[in-house]
Amino acid sequence: MTSWHDTPVELGPSIWNFPPSTEWPQQDIVGRGADLEPATLIQAYRSGVFPMSSANDFPFLSKPAMGWWSPMMRGILPLDQLRITRSMRNSAHKYSVRIDTCFERVLRGCAVPNREGGWITQDIIDAYLTLHELGWAHSFETFDENGVLIGGLYGVRVNGLFAGESMFHLQRDASKIALMHLVATMRDSGMSLLDVQWLTPHLETLGATEIPRNDYLRRLGEAVNP
């Protein structure tokens, strides 16, 4: 089992070429295809790109294609701007959070088939399980007073970057408490950039904001190349 403090397994270069950002189209999706091998994924995150599969993006294809995204306006959560409500503080006294003790359960909790806007396919599940085994992907897991998993989040860490992928909750505030612990852990670890992909109304209430792609790429370079 990997842990937050383990050094991830070193990966070789990806067989796929990631064009420089100056060649990307002026839209959120910048490419499609390639694969979900560990080296490809980590190179993507280092480049400011993440994968997401959706049949709606490519209706002319017989099956969903893997899209590679770098939003024109990127959602981030500044580590000093997380908004902690009274409800979250109360819940934090009831719940406990662990790191990397049940990554697959969190991943599958985020991938329930009936979830609105669900995009986590079996290929994604397999790929991120492998990233976790190699020490790159991590989960923050919220448990109730009886030790039952009630929420959490997962994402990918590359030096000072944590690329948040998804979160879920079965009880009120459970995913928010996981986020509280992620932010605290990142600050304790000297990290600087929490990527949330797109700004949603829910994330905005927690202190997230959005910045232009070029600004994100500048911050990314500082975070992954300390």
Q: Tens digits of per-residue pLDDT, 188-197? A: 999 999 999 9
Rounded Cα distance, 190 and 188, in Å = 6
Q: Is 66 helix (H, G, I), strand (E, B) or coil?
A: strand
Among 4, 77, 10, 74, residue whose Cα is nearest residue 43? 10
* Token couple for 179: 């986020």
The pLDDT of residue 58 is above 50: no
User: Quick count: other Cβ atoms within 10 Å of Cβ 112?
Assistant: 10
Give per-residue burial for 32-55: e unless 16+ CB within 10 Å, then b: bebebbbebbbbbbbbbbbbbbbe
- Helices 38-47 and 122-133: crossing angle in degrees, nearest 10, is 90
Rounded to an integer, the average pLDDT of 186-211 is 97
pTM of the full structure: 0.93
Ramachandran assignment for 93, one of left (phi > 0), alpha (psi -120 to 50 degrees), beta (any other): alpha
What's the CATH number of domain 21-71, 1.10.1740.10, 2.70.70.10, 3.40.50.150, 3.30.70.3550? 3.30.70.3550
Rounded Cα distance, 158 and 46, in Å = 7
The pLDDT of residue 118 is above 80: no
The pLDDT of residue 64 is above 60: no
The pLDDT of residue 199 is above 70: yes
Rounded Cα distance, 52 and 45, in Å = 13
Give the residue extent of every domain in the chain: 21-71, 75-224
CATH architecture of 75-224: 3-Layer(aba) Sandwich (3.40)
* Token couple for 127: 């790929």
Q: Is 208 helix (H, G, I), strand (E, B) or coil?
A: coil
For tokens 């797109």, the residue is 198
CB 128 within 8 A of CB 154: yes
pLDDT digits (tens, 9 = 90+) for 8-23: 999 999 999 889 999 9
* Token couple for 47: 């480049």
What is residue 114's predicted lDDT score, i.e. its pLDDT?
A: 65
